[in-house]
Amino acid sequence: MSLHPLSSEEAELLAVVRDLGQTRIAPRAADDEAAARFPREVFDELANLGLTWLPFPAEVGGGDGSVRLSLLVLEELARASLAVGMGLSVHHLATWAITTFATPEQRARLVPELVAGRLLGAYALSEPAAGSDAAALATRAHRDGDTYRLTGTKAWVTHGGVADRYVVMARTGDEGARGISAFIVDADQPGLEVAPPERKMGLAASPTAQLHLDDAPVPADRLLGGAEGRGFAIAMAALDGGRLGIAACAVGLAQAALDQATAYAADREQFGRPIADFQGVGFLLADMATRTEAARQLTLAAAQLRDRATRDGSRAPTVDGHPDARAITRAAAMSKLTATDAAMQTTSEAVQVLGGVGYTRDFPVERYLREAKVLQILEGTNQIQRLVIARHLATDAR
């Protein structure tokens, strides 16, 4: 069930993703999770299908697809496996940052393999002492002839250790946001070491690790955009899209939980009838479905606002300076907040509907519940989302 009408092309494209998701990805998700194994070959299949290519402009060899379509794809993938959906979202985020802010020379040299999905991208902003306060990051980059020497620790890097190309934020100047620059660092960079993956509550199939940079000599032509001091602006611009991606993944996860709960409640009989017929269970399912659909609609509305702004700017890569730019940032924060809270509550209720078996690893809903929690934390905690929204309201009221 969905309220948003799809074009016939969107329906055809999404049918392919759904088929891939349900026949090739969902069946292996539990095993990948149990083995803490990143399914790189699934990512290769996504690349073959054109999913890494889809959202990028034709100038860099991309598919010129809409943000809306990309989000529908992410939702469908996350419905099959959050590790896979989020993996693609993170790859899009890193690729978008490079594609959008690279110099023409960097774009020609470093973008095509990311768009084709031959290389896996990752994004390194946070640090052990700089999470929500990202501008406090301490990793240093100092110019040394033709290189920048990077020293410091980046934290919570999705795809840490399995990615081929990282966008790394490091400080080239003074304290604060303006002293930060972005670098494009490949996995084989001398002086870069990846720590063992974090032992997380869930999402083990999507490795999260620290990067240790020890006087790593990064060629100066890998300073993203060719100018110092732009890193924080790049990070913030990338977040709008990243938050929408996470929102879409959260909708997919909530939908997966709803699918499981609905099927179970229709099948499971107690007191001589399916438990779905009992109002206590039926109302739970009704709330789950309503919440999931509301989150989906808000996310798609934000995507369409962004698509419209991009079209207005003849497909300008950022919406900076567009009259709707603030509305887009706010809508992205609202979508991330709403969808991830919806996923948290819906996955928890799905465990409740399944009862005892829902708490076992024989059914996927306990995994969904563990996975949902991290969505309220990453890409800006939900408290940070509220902060963004509140600041917008306060500014607009003045």
Partner 1 sequence: MKVVVPVKRTPDTAGEKVIDADSLTVDREAGESVLCPVNEFSIEEAVRLKEKHGAEVTVLVVGPEEAQPTVRKALSYGLDAGLQITDEAIAGSDALGTARVIAAALEATEFDLVVFGGQSTDARTSLVPAAVAELLGLPSLTYTRYLEVDGETITVHREHEEGWDVVTASLPAVVSVVEAINEPRYPSFKGIMAAKSKPLETKSLADLGVSADEVGAGAASATMYEFAPRPPKEAGTVIEDDGSGAAAAQLADWLVEKKFV
Residues with a known catalytic role? 379
Strand partners, 192: 213
Residue from the set 13, 211, 218, 344 that interacts with partner 1 by CB under 8 A: 13
Closest CB to partner 1 among residues 20, 216: 20
Q: Is 9 in the site for partner 1 (CB under 8 A)?
A: yes
Closest CB to partner 1 among residues 69, 298: 69
Query: Residue 366 CA to chain centroid, in angstroms?
Result: 21
**Residues near partner 1 (CB under 8 A), total:** 14
Query: Backbone dihedral region of 57: left (phi > 0), alpha (psi from -120 to 50 degrees) or beta?
Result: beta
Contacts with partner 1, 360-379, as mask; x by CB under 8 A: --------------------
Q: Which among 235, 188, 194, 228 is positioned nearest to 213, based on CA atoms?
A: 194
Q: Is 74 in the site for partner 1 (CB under 8 A)?
A: no
- Measured in residues, the chain has a length of 398
CA distance 375 to 91: 17
Tell the smallest beta-carbon distance from residue 66 to partner 1 (Å).
Answer: 12
Q: Is 20 in the site for partner 1 (CB under 8 A)?
A: yes
Closest CB to partner 1 among residues 55, 161: 55
Only one of the segments 7-15, 137-145, 305-313, 325-333 lies at the binding site for partner 1 (rule: CB under 8 A); that segment is 7-15
Cβ(121)–Cβ(184) below 8 Å: no
Contacts (CB under 8 A) with partner 1, residues 38-67: 48-51, 53-54, 63, 65
Query: Backbone dihedral region of 40: left (phi > 0), alpha (psi from -120 to 50 degrees) or beta?
Result: alpha
CA distance 124 to 88: 16
Closest CB to partner 1 among residues 19, 175: 19
Only one of the segments 6-14, 105-113, 120-128, 245-253 lies at the binding site for partner 1 (rule: CB under 8 A); that segment is 6-14
Tell the smallest beta-carbon distance from residue 16 to partner 1 (Å).
Answer: 5
Only one of the segments 8-16, 127-135, 188-196, 319-327 lies at the binding site for partner 1 (rule: CB under 8 A); that segment is 8-16
> Token pair of 114, please?
């990311």
User: Where does residue 362 rank: exposed (0-12), middle (13-18), buried (19+ CB within 10 A)?
Assistant: exposed
Contacts (CB under 8 A) with partner 1, residues 126-165: none
Count Cβ atoms below 10 Å from residue 390 Cβ, excluding itself.
Answer: 11
Cβ(249)–Cβ(82) below 8 Å: yes
Tell the smallest beta-carbon distance from residue 9 to partner 1 (Å).
Answer: 7
At 148, phi and psi to the nearest 5?
-110, 135
Tell the smallest beta-carbon distance from residue 302 to partner 1 (Å).
Answer: 22
CA distance 331 to 325: 10
Closest CB to partner 1 among residues 26, 135: 26
Tell the smallest beta-carbon distance from residue 84 to partner 1 (Å).
Answer: 15
CA distance 59 to 37: 35
Count Cβ atoms below 10 Å from residue 139 Cβ, excluding itself.
Answer: 20
Tell the smallest beta-carbon distance from residue 63 to partner 1 (Å).
Answer: 6
Tell the smallest beta-carbon distance from residue 68 to partner 1 (Å).
Answer: 14
Task: Note the residues at the interface with partner 1 (CB under 8 A).
Answer: 9, 12-13, 16, 19-20, 48-51, 53-54, 63, 65
